[in-house]
Amino acid sequence: MEFIETDLKGCFILEPRVFKDERGYFMESYNELTFQNGVGQKVNFVQDNQSHSSKGVLRGLHYQCGENAQAKLVRVLEGEVLDIAVDIRPNSETYGQYISILLTAKNQKQLFIPRGFAHGFLVLSESATFFYKCDNFYNAASEGGIIFNDPTINIDWNFSIEELIISDKDRELPMLVNAKKIW
C-alpha cells in the first residue's frame, strides 16, 4: 500500500497493491499496522458505513463536532465518485481549502480524512456503492455540515448544478462562515 499525503496535512490518498490474474484480482484493502505506519498515527475504526446512490447524487458536506468528531477511510466498491474533503480545523493554515479525488471501483484508491474535515461526494457513474470506516460512532447531536456550493470554498464539482440530486437536509446546510464549530 502506498500512502500519499495531500496538500491538506493529515489527509492521505491510499493506493493498494492489486494482484491481477486470469481469475480476477486480490488486494489487501486494510491492515491496521500498515495503515497506522502509513498515516503516522493510531486510528481505531469502530464503525463501517455503506451507501448506494445513483448518478448525480451529492452527499455532503458533513462532519461531526467535538468529542464525536470522526476520521474516515473512504472508498468505492462499485462505480465512480468525486470525493471531497474540506479542512475546517480552525487553526489550520489550509482552513477552508479542499481536495478532490476520483475514487472508483477500478482504481481502488482510498482517502483517509482525519478529524476536523468536512466530507462529501458526488456520484459520476450510473450508480455507485460507497464504503467508509469511522473512528467514532455517529452522534446526531454533534452533526454539522456546509452547503455544497459555498462560495468561499468554491468546490469545482465539474457537474451540471441542475442535474444534482441533493437531499432537502443537505440543501439547507449553512455556509462555512455560519457552520457549527467543530471544537
**Alpha carbons 89 and 37: distance in angstroms, whole number:** 23
Residues 6+ apart with CB under 8 A from 183: 65, 66, 90
Radius of gyration of the chain (CA): 16
Catalytic residue selected from 62, 63, 98, 119: 62
Our answer to whether residue 132 is catalytic in this structure is: yes
Q: 84: helix, coil or strand?
A: strand
Residue linked to cell 444534482: 164
**Alpha carbons 49 and 82: distance in angstroms, whole number:** 18
Q: In this structure, are residues 9 and 117 in contact, taking their beta carbons and an 8 Å threshold?
A: no
Our answer to whether residue 52 is catalytic in this structure is: no
* Beta bridge partner(s), residue 19: 26
Residue linked to cell 460512532: 137
Hey, how many other C-beta atoms are within 10 angstroms of the C-beta on 104? 17
Residue linked to cell 474540506: 86
Catalytic residue selected from 63, 98, 119, 132: 132
Longest dimension (CA), the chain: 53
Active site residues: 62, 132
